[in-house]
């Protein structure tokens, strides 16, 4: 933990404390003003003023629950630049392509963009080139996909507030509850897409400067293999491999921070 910065002129100190505040939200997820003040050893009124200024400029924004704050759109832009300046996408792409080929599915790397999942990398298996259309830059509401579920439960601790009290409609709430129950049993989130004959599996991928998730869409039609267990195992192995490679190259993820 970094102690409060006390040297230098007031504007420099405010800037440094503000940057540290945004970094802490990126590393540890949504926090209240009091939690941030305690974490950064700042006065409560100082933290409140910093949050107000940062929110005004888009670097933080109110989270959905419990009077918490999370990184805002401007911080998300910085995270995208972080991703572009690191080997993360280069590491992910071959691993994701191998996963998509193995299960004849569609693999994607997604990052949270407000209430949506933004696709950063997409790889298709041999016969899936035209199925379940998705491309880099596409966005989907977080409650609609397994990767979105992984992002939601990474950004918002499931123990903080019951899913039923999070403001989702009945269909979204039921899907999230079922997906989270599957995660507790397997380590992956799941969302069926019966209209596309696909099952979406998602798992969180933690980096120090961004919340990411891997998603694998596997076919579920009559001619498809129904071995979901193998797909879950291979998706989790892909996450572990990517995190290990990122660690080797100096790209930290949350467990190491």
Of all residues in the chain, the percent with pLDDT exceeding 70 is: 75
Query: Of 43-52, 119-128, 171-180, 182-191, which range is least confident?
Result: 119-128
Residue 251, Cβ density class (10 Å: 0-12 exposed, 13-18 middle, ≥19 buried): buried
Residue pair 55/72 in contact (Cβ under 8 Å)? The answer is: yes
What does pTM read for this prediction?
0.63
Furthest-apart CA pair in the chain: how many Å? 68
Query: Using one digit for the tens of pLDDT, what is the confidence trace for 145-164?
Result: 999 999 988 875 544 566 65
Position 11 scores a pLDDT of 58
The predicted-structure confidence for 85-106, as pLDDT tens digits, reads as follows 456 888 899 999 999 999 999 9
pLDDT at 181 over 80: yes
Q: Quick one: pLDDT at residue 101?
A: 93
Whether the CB-CB separation of 85 and 185 falls below 8 Å is answered with no
89-104 burial, b for 16+ CB within 10 Å, e for fewer? eebbbebbbebbebbb
Q: What is the pLDDT of residues 121-132, one digit of tens each?
A: 889 988 865 444
Looking at per-residue pLDDT, the higher value among 217 and 134 belongs to 217
Torsion angle, alpha carbons of 111, 112, 117, 123, to 10: 0
Confidence class for position 256, pLDDT limits 50, 70, 90:
very low
């Amino acid at each position: 933990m970094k102690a409060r910065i006390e040297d230098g002129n007031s504007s420099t100190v405010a800037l440094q404390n503000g940057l540290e505040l945004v970094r802490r939200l990126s590393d540890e997820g949504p926090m209240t003003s009091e939690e941030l003040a305690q974490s950064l050893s700042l006065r409560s009124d100082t933290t409140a003023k910093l949050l107000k200024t940062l929110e005004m400029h888009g670097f933080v924004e109110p989270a959905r629950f419990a009077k918490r704050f999370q990184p805002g759109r401007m911080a998300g832009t910085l995270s995208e630049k972080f991703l572009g300046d690191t080997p993360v996408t280069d590491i992910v792409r071959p691993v994701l392509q191998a996963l998509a080929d193995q299960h004849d599915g569609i693999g994607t790397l997604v990052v949270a963009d407000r209430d949506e999942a933004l696709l950063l990398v997409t790889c298709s298996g041999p016969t899936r080139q035209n199925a379940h259309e998705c491309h880099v830059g596409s966005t989907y509401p977080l409650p609609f996909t397994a990767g979105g579920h992984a992002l939601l439960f990474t950004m918002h601790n499931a123990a903080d507030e019951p899913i039923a009290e999070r403001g989702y409609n009945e269909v979204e709430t039921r899907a999230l509850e079922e997906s989270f129950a599957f995660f507790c049993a397997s380590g992956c989130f799941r969302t069926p897409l019966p209209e596309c004959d696909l099952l979406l599996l998602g798992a969180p991928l933690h980096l120090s400067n961004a919340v990411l998730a891997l998603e694998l869409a596997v076919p579920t039609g009559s001619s498809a293999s129904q071995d979901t267990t193998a797909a879950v195992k291979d998706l989790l192995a892909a996450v572990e491999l990517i995190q290990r490679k990122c660690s080797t190259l100096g790209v930290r993820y949350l467990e190491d921070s």
